[in-house]
Structure 1
Amino acid sequence: MNEIKYAVFTDKSIRLFAKNQYTFNVESRSTRTEIKRWVELFFDVKVIAMNSHRLPIKGRRTRPIMGHTMHYKRMIITLQPGYSIPSLRTKINKKKYT
C-alpha cells in the first residue's frame, strides 16, 4: 500500500475517466507489476494497461542540486470495460458541485 502515494485530479485525469483510465502518483522504485497487483487487490478491478512517466524537475537553478531526484512517478491505469473505482468518481463529483 505504500507504493501508491495519491490519486491525481487534473483536467487531463478527469477527462480520462470517460476512457476508464485513472491516474496515480506512485513511488519511483515500485515496479509496474507491484502496482498492478496492488490496484487489482485493493479496488477489486481488472487492469488491462498501464503507462508511466517521470515528471520533470521544476525550478532548476543555474547550479544543479546534487542528488535531487523526483521521489514519485505518474501511472495512468486503464481498467477493463465494466470495472470502475467509484470512490474516486464520487470525490470528483463532490468537488464540482461545492
Structure 2
Amino acid sequence: MEDRRSIIIHPIVTEKSVRLQKENKYVFRVDPRATKPEIKKAVEEMFGVTVLKVNTINVKGKRKRLGRFEGRTSSWKKAIVFVKPGERIKAFDIT
C-alpha cells in the first residue's frame, strides 16, 4: 500500500480500548489488505511514536435481518498497536 492514510482508517475508542491505553496499546480500524509491517510504519510516521509490536484481528461481519430480508455487515480488520513505554499517541488523549 502506498499511502499511510489509506492503511489506518480510524481509531477505535471503546471502554476496552481506553483501558488498553494504560498498557500502551492502541486500537485502530485498518485496511483489510494491510500487513503488520505496513501498519507499524504508518503509525510511526503519523503519530511519531516507536511501535514495538502489532497484533491484527479479522472481524467477521454479523448477520443482520430486516423483516424477511437477510444480509451481513461488512467484515473488517482491527489492529492493536503496542507502543514503547513512556510514549503516547496524543490523538487518543481524552483528558
| TM-score computed with the length of structure 1 as normaliser | 0.78
Q: State the Cα RMSD in Å.
A: 2.2
Where in structure 2 are there 5+ consecutive unaligned residues? Answer: none
Give 1:17 deviation, angstroms.
0.8
Matched, 1:42 2:16: no
Greater relative contact order (Cα < 8 A, sep 6+): 1
Q: d(CA) in 1 for partners of 2:8 and 2:78?
A: 10
Identify, as 1 or 2, the structure richer in strand.
2
The residue that corresponds to 2:79 in the other structure is 75
Residue correspondences, number = 89
The residue that corresponds to 1:96 in the other structure is none
After superposition, give the CA deviation of every residue in 1:46-80 in whole Å (9 maximum; x if it has no partner).
0001111111211257xx96xx862x300000101
Question: Which amino acid in structure 1 is aligned with residue 51 of structure 2?
Answer: V
The residue that corresponds to 1:8 in the other structure is 12
Where in structure 1 are there 5+ consecutive unaligned residues? Answer: 94-98
Identify, as 1 or 2, the structure richer in helix.
1
Q: d(CA) in 2 for partners of 1:19 and 1:55?
A: 23
Q: d(CA) in 2 for partners of 1:19 and 1:69?
A: 30
Structure 1's consecutive aligned runs of 4 or more residues displaced over 2 angstroms after TM superposition are none
| TM-score computed with the length of structure 2 as normaliser | 0.81
